[in-house]
A and B are shown apart, each in its own frame.
Chain A
Amino acid sequence: MIDATTFWTLTVLLGIGTFLIRFSFLGLLGGRTLPDRVLLYLRYVGVAVFPALFMPLVVWPEATGGTPDPIRLIAALAAFLAGLRFGVVWAIIAGMGTLYLMQFLLS
């Protein structure tokens, strides 16, 4: 059982903290222009953060208790290739579709 006081303390602080993280640069810097060197690195934020988020989830999925799962690895590869070739929607369809298809065929 989760204690109500603990829950509300955590949720309110997490809400405030998350807002401050999101507001940080946008709020403080506002319309000021950033140096070119900084802009150069900022172009790579998305392309660095997203692989760092998904790689551990693909290689050590929580659903299998952290053991690598060939089905998920192949589904992830299918999503990636479809994304490169056809874009976002097909990446999602190919990824989940491959997962379901292989789970169905192999079960």
Chain B
Amino acid sequence: MTPRQAFWRGYLDCAPFTLIVVPYSMLFGVVARDAGLDILQTMSMSVLVIAGASQFTAVALLQDQAPVFIALLASLAVNLRMAMYSAALVPHVGHARLGVRALMAYLMVDQAFAVAVRTYEDRPEMSPPIKVAYYFGCMALICPFWYGCTLLGAVVGQAIPASFSLDFAVPVCFIALTAPLLRSGPHIFAALVAGTAALAFVWVPWSLGLIIAALLGILAGGQAELFLARRAERSGA
């Protein structure tokens, strides 16, 4: 595979997510205008932050007249999960130049992360430069849609009726991302622990329950894998 082919492969592999990114980013445009932001403000937020969940959090808290630092902390807490993505990408694309890594960091979104890491694990023969090209292919599709549809939502705004239940596109997106990742017992166990813990810790302020639940899930998955490996070793010996 050449880097060019890898780029287009990533582009195509992420294509299904335009189904989600389109309504989700439009919804942000609608909600932001509804909250009283002008089009320039709405677009600036989408371009500077490109992280839907935290943008919704920020707008909701601004509307509630929350102090800036509380709104900032809550929105950043929602994005803390990306520190985990950042760490998970190091073994695959950490070799790239600093400027390239900075651009990769700016473009890091859930869908592209999930697709890229799954492909890297399924195809260990991919060389480091191929992995970088693939990553940018994934992002090259999602990002323009994110900007463009935020703008569309901000402009057409109120025309989308609530009966379309676009809010539900968000959990459906994450369900669609999760299902193909459940490839082994430890993966399923990690998902179960994280999902249950997220419900149990939903009361924790500033969305930190999400971080606690994710850490518990990661720990559960890793421990389950170690346990199975030790058991296989014992029965093999």
Contact = CB atoms under 8 A, between A and B. Distances in A.
A58 B170 CA distance: 10
B235 interface: no
Contacts of B153: none
A44 B190 contact: yes
A72 B80 CA distance: 27
Given A2-B37, A10-B68, A10-B72, A103 B163 contact: yes
A105 B171 CA distance: 22
B16 A18 contact: no
A18 B82 CA distance: 8
A88 B68 contact: no
Q: Is the interface of A mostly helix, strand, loop or mixed?
A: helix
Contacts of B177: 46, 50, 88
Interface in B80-108: 80-91, 93-95, 98, 101-102, 104-106, 108
Contacts of B194: 47-49, 51-52
B175 A80 contact: yes
Q: Is the interface of B mostly helix, strand, loop or mixed?
A: helix
B187 A44 contact: yes
B16 A57 contact: no
Interface in B180-208: 180-182, 186-187, 190-199, 202
Given A46-B117, A79-B175, A24 B79 contact: no
Contacts of A38: 87
A39 to B, nearest CB: 6
Contacts of B176: 79, 83, 88-89, 91-92, 95
Nearest to B35: A2
Interface string B48-73: 11110110001000110000100110
Interface of A: 1-2, 4, 6-15, 17-19, 21-27, 29-34, 38-63, 72, 75-76, 79-80, 82-84, 87-89, 91-93, 95-96, 99-100, 103
